Amino acid sequence: MVKNETDKTSVFAKINEFSSIATLRLLICMFVLFALLFLGAYNAEYLYKLQNQSLFLKNELFANEIICQTGGLLIYVSRYILQYCYYPLLGAFLIVCGYLLLTKMLIVLSKATTLASKSLCALPVLFVMISQTSLGYALYDNCEISFVISFELGLLISLVLTWIYKRVMRLNTKFGLILAFGASTLLHLAIGVYGPFSLLVLAVGAVRKNVRIAFLDFALFVMALFLGASLTSEIYGDFLSASLFAPFINYYYLRPFLFGLIAVVTVLCMAGGLLNSLLEKKLSTNVSLLLFAVFSFAVCYFASYRNANFRTELKLQHLTETQDWDGVLEEVKSVERPTQGIAAYRILALDHKDLLAKELFNFPVRFEKIDSEYKDIWIGTYYPDYFFYMSQVDLSLMWSMELWTATGRNFSLMKRFLQAALIKGETATAKKYIDLLKQTTFHASWAKDHEQYLSNPHKYVENNKTFLKVARCQPRQNINVTTSGLTEILRSYNNLDSENFQRRLLLGLYENNVDKFLEDLMKARGLYAQLPECMQEVIILYAMKTNRDLTKVFPVSRAVYERVVSFEGAASNFVDKPEEGAVALKKYQGSSLYHLLFGNPTVESL
């Protein structure tokens, strides 16, 4: 009888254990799938942009430049891995592999045995994922983009180090401590703060066992941190304060969040044992699973960076890179309050589809300013592309070099240098960039494709409809500029071809500068047989409001005239109520009049 009961208990225990393992596997699968979807699908454009905004060259000079800084080896490896985000799913896969290893190390170090406590060990990983995908507009700033990888990799190395120290210490505590201290200090050189951080994890892990040892470990952590940082700052000639926490980016957005994350990791390491006993009694497997899923979703939803315009801009940049102008126009259709960058990419697409005059004003008139501490962010997002595809190749080069120096070297700008050099026929310069891009992992074939044009750069232009227009519309006159917007620059030319003159007229109008537009229009008498409707609307309104009737010089259609009269009548009811007027007169959206009256004055210097 006793024997039967024992057997029964043992069977139940086995069933429980089996169920627990199955649930854990399910949990892991769910987590992997979720992370892959979140990174590789939802954040695909973000990952692509991250790699495009970074640079990795397979040469000795580049390796020396990167490695010779605090945590340089970690940055170098991270930059290498970041390249794989060229294929976002592949990049996501590598990142998720790191998550699994990180979770495993957290489980091992916290000695989590129950399903509930094991699943909790994945929470810090969730925070890692969120911080990796939450750079937002900061990615255009001068930050070391590979931080998104080095953060994960550094934590992983740190935890592995802690585990190794523990194994060594089992053999000999004194020897182990000296070894741990020495290794952590020296590793500051290669992996930065993550070297000494392993001692901090060691210290918090020891708190429950022996407070005295925990204090000793903590003291060693502090010593290793300062000694390591002093060593690296001396070797690499940097401020001690900069070396201390390198390669953490000294960045105002993420700092509190990341330090919070470290605290979570630390707490988990310390409380692993406690969690086992607490959670085992309080929570069932299903409840813990549910809680984990809900919490993960909530964290991802509330903590992640979900700025729709930011995402749209990333997509537009990618589409522009492939010159998919239809894709650009499709993407901007759903935008309600565009940023200046979104408007700029739309203008490029319209221009290259020859739809600028017809469709320019058929777009939301209320613009949104980018919410960023980085005051020059608007330039970073679109100026190199905007000037390039609007045929101001030299000025695109100027802005590209400006961003290259101010916000960091990257693949994207290097490719722009190459394109510009080929269009300008400067083959020696183009060759330099081809040779460098050939040293990259995923942009090498692109560079090799361009090698054929070195002997005949004209072919480069002839083989591509977009480049043909870019080259054709390059202004023949040379003017000297500094930081003016494109419209102002177009106005500085004495002689412009018809395509550029139309750009000048339309962009002037788009920036609500009616006086300049009319002044320019008088110089464009032979440009049109009949003015585009958006221009007709303005001169009709002008004739109605002033004594000067330009409709005698530029004939207008009856239909447009009636529309303007109708709009003018309706708009007179909302003279002091633009917000209400914008809603009430929505049917006129798409006309230049609606844009002039209700458009956001923040559209400037496009």
Partner 1 sequence: MMRMNKLLKYVVASVMCSMALSSCTPHFPESSYDTQTRPDISPDFQNVTVPVNISPTNFYLKGDWEATALKISGEKGETIEVIGDSKNNFVIDVPSWKKLLANNVGGTLSFDVYAKKEGRWLHFEPFNETVSPDSIDRYLTYRLIEPSYMGTGLIGIFQSDLETGETQSIFENKFFHRDPHVRTQKCVNCHTAQRNHPENKMFYFRGPNGGLILTYNGQVKKINTRTKEMFAGTVYPAWHPNLPYIAFSSNVIKQCFSSNDKNKVEPFDFYSDLVLYDIEKNTISPIQNTRLKQETNPNWSPDGKYLYYNVSDSVFTVCNNYRHLLYDIYRIPFNVDSLSWGEPELVYAAAKDKRSATYPRVSPDGKFLAFTGALYGTSTQTNRTADLFIMNLETKEVRNMSEVNSPTESDSYHDWSSESRWLVVSSRRGDGNYSRPYFAHIDEEGKSGKPLPMPHSYPRYDDDLLKNYNVVEFSSAPVVKTYADFLSVIQKDEIKANSGFPENTSVEPDGITGATSPRTR
- Identify the residue whose tokens are 């995908």: 133
Q: How far is the CB of 375 from partner 1 (least distance, A)?
A: 10
CA dihedral over 450, 454, 455, 459, signed as positive or negative: positive
When computed from its CA atoms, the radius of gyration of the chain, rounded to whole angstroms, is 30
What angle do helix axes 255-282 and 194-206 make, rounded to 10 degrees?
30
User: Which tokens is 352 given?
Assistant: 């290259």
The stretch among 16-24, 473-481, 499-507, 519-527 that binds partner 1 (CB under 8 A) is 473-481
Q: Counting contacts by CB under 8 A, is residue 139 touching partner 1?
A: no
Count of residues that bind partner 1 according to CB under 8 A: 49
Of the residues 244, 489, 556, 564, which one makes contact with partner 1 according to CB under 8 A:
489
The stretch among 54-62, 288-296, 542-550, 585-593 that binds partner 1 (CB under 8 A) is 54-62
The stretch among 191-199, 234-242, 338-346, 585-593 that binds partner 1 (CB under 8 A) is 234-242
- In sequence order, which residues have a C-beta less than 8 Å from that of residue 262 and are 6 or more positions away? 197
Q: How far is the CB of 148 from partner 1 (least distance, A)?
A: 17
Of the residues 36, 89, 231, 242, which one makes contact with partner 1 according to CB under 8 A:
242
Q: Counting contacts by CB under 8 A, is residue 173 touching partner 1?
A: no
Q: How far is the CB of 256 from partner 1 (least distance, A)?
A: 16
CA 403 to chain centre: 15
Q: Counting contacts by CB under 8 A, is residue 494 touching partner 1?
A: no
Of the residues 104, 306, 353, 432, which one makes contact with partner 1 according to CB under 8 A:
432
Q: How far is the CB of 193 from partner 1 (least distance, A)?
A: 15
**Cα 256 to Cα 532: distance, rounded to the nearest angstrom:** 54
Q: How far is the CB of 498 from partner 1 (least distance, A)?
A: 18
Q: How far is the CB of 179 from partner 1 (least distance, A)?
A: 30
**Cα 323 to Cα 509: distance, rounded to the nearest angstrom:** 26
Of the residues 3, 281, 476, 525, which one makes contact with partner 1 according to CB under 8 A:
476
Contact 217, 203 (CB under 8 A): yes
Residue type at 39?
L
Give the residue with the Cβ less far from partner 1, 448 or 552: 448
Q: Counting contacts by CB under 8 A, is residue 402 touching partner 1?
A: yes
Q: Counting contacts by CB under 8 A, is residue 247 touching partner 1?
A: no
Of the residues 20, 23, 113, 142, which one makes contact with partner 1 according to CB under 8 A:
142
User: Which tokens is 606 given?
Assistant: 């496009």
Nearest alpha-carbon partner for 35 in 318, 303, 297: 297
The stretch among 45-53, 306-314, 426-434, 506-514 that binds partner 1 (CB under 8 A) is 426-434
Q: Counting contacts by CB under 8 A, is residue 467 touching partner 1?
A: no
Site for partner 1 in 338-397 (CB under 8 A): 374, 392-395, 397
**Cα 60 to Cα 22: distance, rounded to the nearest angstrom:** 49
Give the residue with the Cβ less far from partner 1, 421 or 556: 421
Provide the 8-state DSSP code for 568: H
Q: How far is the CB of 432 from partner 1 (least distance, A)?
A: 4
Q: How far is the CB of 84 from partner 1 (least distance, A)?
A: 23
Of the residues 1, 4, 174, 239, which one makes contact with partner 1 according to CB under 8 A:
239
Q: Counting contacts by CB under 8 A, is residue 171 touching partner 1?
A: no
Q: What angle do CA 157, 162, 168 make, to 5 degrees?
A: 125
Give the residue with the Cβ less far from partner 1, 362 or 439: 439
Q: Counting contacts by CB under 8 A, is residue 431 touching partner 1?
A: yes
Three-class DSSP category at 474: coil
Of the residues 251, 305, 442, 561, which one makes contact with partner 1 according to CB under 8 A:
251
Three-class DSSP category at 589: strand
User: Which tokens is 116 given?
Assistant: 């509930």
Of the residues 445, 456, 483, 566, which one makes contact with partner 1 according to CB under 8 A:
483
Q: Counting contacts by CB under 8 A, is residue 429 touching partner 1?
A: yes
What angle do helix axes 427-437 and 444-451 make, rounded to 10 degrees?
150
Contact 356, 350 (CB under 8 A): yes
Q: Counting contacts by CB under 8 A, is residue 472 touching partner 1?
A: no
Of the residues 34, 42, 62, 574, which one makes contact with partner 1 according to CB under 8 A:
62
- How many other C-beta atoms are found inside a 10 Å radius of the C-beta of residue 281? 9
CA dihedral over 181, 183, 186, 189, signed as positive or negative: negative
CA 203 to chain centre: 36
**Cα 582 to Cα 577: distance, rounded to the nearest angstrom:** 9
**Cα 271 to Cα 285: distance, rounded to the nearest angstrom:** 19
Provide the 8-state DSSP code for 547: S
**Cα 418 to Cα 522: distance, rounded to the nearest angstrom:** 39
The stretch among 290-298, 404-412, 499-507, 546-554 that binds partner 1 (CB under 8 A) is 404-412
Q: How far is the CB of 242 from partner 1 (least distance, A)?
A: 5
Of the residues 222, 287, 406, 583, which one makes contact with partner 1 according to CB under 8 A:
406
Q: Counting contacts by CB under 8 A, is residue 257 touching partner 1?
A: no
**Cα 113 to Cα 273: distance, rounded to the nearest angstrom:** 9
**Cα 459 to Cα 1: distance, rounded to the nearest angstrom:** 92
Give the residue with the Cβ less far from partner 1, 123 or 244: 244
The footprint of partner 1 (CB under 8 A) covers 57, 59-62, 69, 141-143, 234, 237-239, 242, 250-252, 374, 392-395, 397-398, 401-402, 404-406, 409, 426, 428-429, 431-432, 435-436, 439, 474-483, 489
